[in-house]
Amino acid sequence: MSYAAGTADGGEPVLSVEHLATELEGSAGTLHAVDGVDLRIARGETFAIVGESGCGKSMTALSILRLLPEAGHIVAGSVSVNGTELLSLPEAAMRNVRGRRIAMIFQEPATSLNPVLTIGRQIAEVLQRHTQLRGAAMRARAIELLDAVGIPDAAMRVDDYPFRLSGGMKQRAMIAIALAGEPDLLIADEPTTALDVTIQAQVLELLRELQRKNGMSILLITHDLGVVAHMAHRVAVMYCGRFVEIAPRDEFFRAPQHPYTRKLFDALPDAGKRGTELSVMRGQVPSLAAAPPGCAFADRCDFVMPRCTEASPDWTPLGAAHEVRCFLRATQPAGPFDAGSGAQSAAAPQGVSAELLKVRSLRVHFPIRKGLLMRTVGWVKAVDGVSLDVRTGRTLALVGESGCGKTTVGKSILQLIRPSAGEVGFDGVDLTRLRGAALRRRRADFQIIFQDPYASLNPRMRVTDILTEGMAALGTEAGSAAMSRRADELLAHVGLSAEVKERYPHEFSGGQRQRIAIARALAVRPRLIICDEPTSALDVSVQAQILNLLKGLQREFGLSYLFITHNIAVVEYLAHEVAVMYLGRIVERGTVDEVLRTPRHPYTQALLASLPRGDVEVGAEFPRLEGELPSPADPPRGCHFHPRCPQAMAECKLGYPDAIRLSESHEVSCLLYRAQKR
Amino acid sequence: MIVVLWTDALLWALVAAVAAYFWHVHRHEHLAAPWRRVLQSSAGTMSLVILAAYGLVGLADSLHFRPAIGAAGDAHAPVYSVEVLSVLDLALAPLRTHTETTYSAPLATRAYARETVELGGGRVVREYPRLRFGGAQLAHESDRDRDIARRIALGAGAGVALWLVLVLSLLTAIARRESTSPAAAWHAVWSGRTRVAWRGALYAALALLVLGFAAASLSAEYHVLGTDKVGLDVLYLSLKSVRTGLMIGALTTLVMLPFAVMLGIMAGYFKGWVDDVIQYVYTTLNSIPGVLLIAAAVLMMQVYIDTHPDLFPTTAQRADLRLLFLCIILGLTNWTGLARLLRGETLKLRELDFIQAAQAFGVSHYRIITRHVLPNVMHLVIISLVMDFSGLVLAEAVLSYVGVGVDPSMISFGTMINAARLEIAREPMVWWVLVAAFVFMFALVLAANLFADAVRDAFDPRVRVGSGVAKAAT
């Protein structure tokens, strides 16, 4: 028995998995989705599995519950819960385990709840199956559970249908359903990935609190090292269906041992790495179909030795409960981890440059139509008076939670959505006044990169057609030979070979598709690129490649970026200026240092406090945020933020505060800083 | 004299368009892939072979001409018959010309009804008279069963022999292409390991060849499916009906396609008032009972035809115009379903990032629709076309039965059924006309439906098994 597979405190484990192996029959052959996984989770412990997409994390969880898809089957190993072997149980007995002994919550709360049943009914389903409660007692218990997960007015909410709940509330309801059977183990598969940071912080806090109260064990599956730092007691890193490192949390963040783990940390953007290139792994995650002998990471490892490709390394114990599967560490354990180890590169152009984009009181209002005659009964004020500036060769990050209108700002600057009011000055020309051909002529100057690399390329077009479309439409190159040359050039810029031109998008990975999307935007030689969350659908290692690419292109071509994101770490790494948006308005803006080091607006402070980080101490400084983003159709009177603001005053309800200048570049819209008004 | 009927011209244009489409598909890997999946399914190839057989019959029946009648006047102006014939009629000449006086049962040698026959010397008897053609070559009627068995065996034998030749040439072709031995190719074909599911195609071909040759060898001397009220061979009628069925299915599609695709995509893409107008039109159109609309339109057409007899030199041309008009009116009432489907899909597509990216380049609406939207809804168009086809064949039968379908002089499944309907009630029952129409139509519609299923499985991204697994693995 491997040492690290034991529990931290040596007690009887709640869950014990040994040599679990799961295979999936795919069209490309058998995939070894889980390839010999050992783990033990003690009572009250949170065990986190981290890894990039496709590494087999979710398959591990589904194998434990025996809920594999049709093509999957468990080929070896054992899974026992409190000493009961699960893999040999008949299906009928297994149903008593699911929900009662092990419960699971999923990533997407919107699709995990049945939309035609009330929340109460869905909780009752579990109670009926696993408890003796019936009738009024059952209802009372359902209300109690909703109360326990922090849903206000639980007695009323119990009769609501899922569509009445917001995303965060739905995830709370999911947790209530999972808790209904009083499970010993909760499997949380990316429980907060679909949620905003402030909501994520609330849900993670809730899980920790429930764990403290019930002594429940949690198997947490995530790709987010921040969440791990926040939640886990022990961490396992998964790569290609295997654990490569298991360590206690502090040990893991202080001195990760496996080269893959260290690369993952290196690839994370943050303020410390500004002006440097993020370290990237070469190559791609190998296919799970081909299981070569030896270490699966060997092809991408900087320290690869001849024996790495010959035999699979066994566990090497390294101090208290820390184990790693690497030949290198058997002889030479690594020291503490130093984050800022990337290669230094030339800093971005400094000094004041010319203003390229000047947006003034931009408004985008969508009518709400109701009734037979579709009369307008109100307006969704998606963007309500936004002003911002982007300078040549600089990056402005627009930060905010989903639904705050940041994507709408991007699209209305491009005139893909026509603004209701305001000015979009680009190089001195107001784009909102341009129509037809006049606007088309300017379109070459500003382009956009989207979030989802799968939706942003037409699956029916070859790469060359995708790249030349813009040139043909805007006539930026003369003749097809010039367009073809330009396409080769673009592919070289984004690090793809010219041979890919004849291929279709489905033949590329997410990161490669995003490169093609960037090449397409560059095709018409734009001066401004609006990046709409370009890395949030990508894995950490791929994100690092794309961020490096964007940074390099900015340096090379003097591009300006309007970088729309919710990922503060990316902002710290890439941006020069930041604007924080809340409910259609910008509440604070300034340079990265000003806004992220000395945030003034209570919302900015709360947003930063909600970030789960490796260095956990940060969390204490600012208060966490309660509640959720109000509807932009009916924003609160006065300051939009006052209902959630911990420092709200009576005057906050009276009117929306004007922007107050704190320094040359720092502005905040909050009454707290009235006194400093100049 | 060659006669080009309107429907002939349109059908051949459609054939050319389909050929051009497949040539285009052949050159584009991503377009060819789903069709290759269609060919991978046994049901797909099997139904394709059957549909091809129907198609051959229909196309042979769409090459029309008027035969010259022996020079009545001077040689410079040959006189043509008023009867329009097709290539199929030539091939089936014995069937067409061997007419009896009235009903006779399948493979019978005597008529179905007793007649008063005058014998020499003024004697009159009522008996079942011998048929003029059915089994006329038999010296003794008692030899009939043996003769039939012999002919079936001969025909089936010829069918099997031809099939074996087909199999052998296929195997050598496969073996040469894959550079293996014919024996290996044989094993691959019968265990279903080839890239095209030849096994299904070969089964269907065997069935068709055996049935076809047996029927051909029998029909030289017998009426395989009997004769109808005026003594026409029912097998001939059934084969002639195939063209009408195919024509209705194919031409209606051709008529409705531009409406459905253009209006559906426009409604979804432009939204706003364009969408409102198009939705209003198809909701209104959908609320009118289809049969009423068709009846009114066809009757109007009939009045026009009747008042302008000078426009139509032959009855075939009259009937053809009515068929064309029926196709048009069916097309006009049938586009709404596909249009609604395409509108929904386009509404979804237009919000996708790649279309937004194209808009950011200032690409024109026309180019966005043709390059970005249309290729991404083509699978829906293809699926719904093959699925609608069988429905339209059935619709023709119903409409002709009701009397608002094709011209009564035109042979179709509907007119066959309509003519047979009263005879069902008589005693003894005349069943073979109805059964023949049923069997031929059933085989066509079943093949079309199976093919539609295979096409849907291959084109619909949601039913693909491979992608489901890949998704679960992430």
- Residue B314 included in any domain: yes
Q: Supply the pLDDT for residue A227.
A: 87
- Highest mean pLDDT among A510-519, B388-397, B424-433 belongs to A510-519
Domains of chain A, residue spans: 13-101+183-331, 362-457+525-676
Within-domain flag for B332? yes
Question: Among residues 357-416 of chain B, which lie with CB inside 8 Å of chain A?
Answer: 357-364, 367, 371-372, 375-376
Which one of B353, B361, B473 has the shortest CB-CB distance to A470? B361
The reply to whether B178 and B274 lie within a common domain is no
Residue where one domain finishes, among candidates B169, B194, B219: B219
Condensed to tens digits (0 to 9), the pLDDT of residues B98-138 reads 888 888 888 888 888 888 888 777 788 888 888 888 888 88
**Is the predicted pLDDT of residue B462 greater than 70, yes or no?**
no
Contact B326, B407 (CB under 8 A): no
Q: Are A81 and A17 in contact (CB under 8 A)?
A: no
Task: Provide the domain limits for residue B181.
Answer: 101-219
Kindly determine whether residue A71 and residue B359, on different chains, have CB atoms separated by under 8 Å: no
**pLDDT higher than 80, residue A103:** yes
Asked whether residue B304 is assigned to any structural domain, the reply reads yes
User: A595 by DSSP, 3-state: which?
Assistant: helix
B238 and B196 co-located in one domain: no
Q: How many other C-beta atoms are found inside a 10 Å radius of the C-beta of residue B145?
A: 10
Alpha-carbon distance A131 to nearest alpha carbon in chain B (angstroms): 32
Looking at residues A369-383, what average pLDDT do you find? 80
Partner-chain contact A459 B376, CB within 8 Å: yes
Residue B186 pLDDT more than 90?
no
Residues of chain A contacting B472 with CB distance shorter than 8 Å: 24, 59, 69, 71-72
What band does A10 get if pLDDT is binned at 50, 70 and 90? low
- In-domain check, residue B71: no
Residues B283 and B187 in one domain: no
Asked whether the beta carbons of residue B470 and residue A26 sit closer than 8 angstroms, the reply is yes
The residue of chain A nearest to residue B354, with distances taken between CA atoms, is A456
Q: What pLDDT shows up at residue A17?
A: 92
b/e burial code for range A470-504 (CB count within 10 A of at least 16 → b)? bbbbbebbeeeeebbebbeebbebbebebebbebb
Pair B286, B336: CB distance under 8 Å: yes
Q: Which of A458, A464, A524, A529 should one mutate to test binding to chain B, selecting the residue with the greatest count of B CBs within 10 A?
A: A458
Structure tokens at A17: 């998995």
Shared domain check, B179 and B306: no
Q: What is the CB-side half-sphere exposure of residue A136 using CA atoms within 13 A?
A: 0
How many structural domains is chain B composed of?
2
For residue B25, count CB atoms less than 10 angstroms from its CB and return exposed for 0-12, middle for 13-18, buried for 19 or more: middle
Contact A585, A669 (CB under 8 A): yes
In tens, the pLDDT along A311-346 reads 888 888 887 788 888 888 777 666 666 544 444 444
The two three-digit tokens of residue B232, written as one number: 């026409």
pLDDT of residue A403: 78
CA distance B445 to B441: 6
Verify that B169 and B238 share a domain, yes or no.
no
Q: Picking from A91-105, A342-356, A425-439, B160-174, which range would have the lowest pLDDT averaged per residue?
A: A342-356
- Please tell me which of the candidates A33, A447, A517 has its beta carbon nearest to residue B473: A33
pLDDT at A569: 86
Taking CB atoms and an 8 Å cutoff, what residues of chain A touch B370?
none
B198 and B242 fall within a common domain: no
Q: What is the pLDDT of residue B471?
A: 36
Distance CA A39, CA A26 (A): 27
Nearest C-alpha in A relative to B374: A460
Indicate if the pLDDT at residue B229 is higher than 90: no
The architecture (CATH level 2) of A13-101+183-331 comes to: 3-Layer(aba) Sandwich (3.40)
Tell me what the pLDDT averaged over chain B comes to: 86
Give, in order, the Cα–Cα distances in Å from B423 to each of A351, B224, B231, B419, B427: 98, 19, 14, 8, 8
Residue A470 to residue B473, Cβ atoms within 8 A: no
The CATH homologous superfamily for domain A362-457+525-676 is: P-loop containing nucleotide triphosphate hydrolases (3.40.50.300)
| B126 and B161 together in one domain | yes
Same domain, B206 and B243: no
Residue B58 CA to residue B62 CA, distance in Å, equals: 6
Mean pLDDT of A660-669: 87
Work out the pLDDT band at A615, boundaries 50, 70, 90: low
In the predicted structure, residue A517 carries a pLDDT above the cut 90: yes
Q: How many CB atoms lie within 10 A of CB A537?
A: 19
Whether residues B358 and A411 touch (CB distance < 8 A) is answered with no
Q: Is residue B230 classed as helix, strand or coil in its secondary structure?
A: coil
Q: Which of B191, B219, B247 is the last residue of a domain?
A: B219
- CATH number of the structural domain spanning residue B423: 1.10.3720.10
Report, as an integer, the average pLDDT of B69-79.
Answer: 64
Residue B224 lies inside a defined structural domain of this protein: no
What pLDDT is recorded for position A200? Answer: 84
- Interval B241-269 mean pLDDT: 91
**Band of the pLDDT at B163, cuts 50, 70, 90?**
very high
Give the pLDDT of residue B73. 56
d(CA A658, CA A673): 10
pLDDT tens per residue across span A449-489: 998 888 889 888 889 999 999 888 888 888 889 999 999 98
Note the pLDDT of residue A618. Answer: 38
B198 and B146 within one domain: yes
Considering chain A, what is the average pLDDT of its residues? 84
Q: What number of residues does chain B have?
A: 474
Band the pLDDT of A291: cuts 50, 70, 90. Answer: low
If you measure CA to CA, which chain B residue comes closest to A465? Answer: B371
Reported as a single tens digit per residue, the pLDDT across B256-287 is: 998 899 999 999 999 889 999 999 999 998 88
Cβ-nearest to A455 among B354, B359, B361? B354
Does residue B289 carry a pLDDT above 90? Answer: no
* Residue A429, beta-bridge partner list: A426
Binning pLDDT at 50, 70 and 90, where does residue B470 land? very low
Instruction: For A293-314, write each residue's pLDDT tens digit.
Output: 788 888 888 888 888 888 888 8
Cβ separation A69–B466 shorter than 8 A: no
**Over 80: is that where the pLDDT of A581 sits?**
yes
Structure tokens at A147: 């109360």
Domain shared by B215 and B249, yes or no = no
What's the pLDDT score for residue A617? 43
Task: Give percent of chain A above pLDDT 90.
Answer: 21
pLDDT band with cut points at 50, 70 and 90 for residue B180: confident
Whether B358 sits inside 8 A of A24 (CB atoms) is: no
The whole-number pLDDT of residue B235 equals 92
With an 8 Å Cβ cutoff, are B473 and A59 in contact?
A: yes
Residue A235 confidence class, pLDDT cut points 50, 70, 90 = very high
**Whether residue B390 sits in one domain with residue B249:** yes
Q: What is the pLDDT of residue A1?
A: 39
Q: Given an 8 Å threshold on Cβ–Cβ distance, is A24 in contact with B354?
A: no
Mean pLDDT of B300-309: 88
The reply to whether residue B466 touches residue A474, judged by beta carbons under 8 angstroms, is no
A279 touches chain B (CB under 8 A): no
Q: What is the pLDDT of residue B472?
A: 35
Window from A139-143, A191-195, A311-315, A621-625 with minimum mean pLDDT:
A621-625
pLDDT of residue B6 exceeding 60:
yes
Same domain? For B452 and B391 the reply is yes
Q: Comparing A50-59, A539-548, B75-84, B144-153, which segment has the lowest mean pLDDT?
A: B75-84
User: Does residue B439 lie within any of the structural domains?
Assistant: yes
Local confidence band at A620 (pLDDT 50, 70, 90 cut-offs): very low
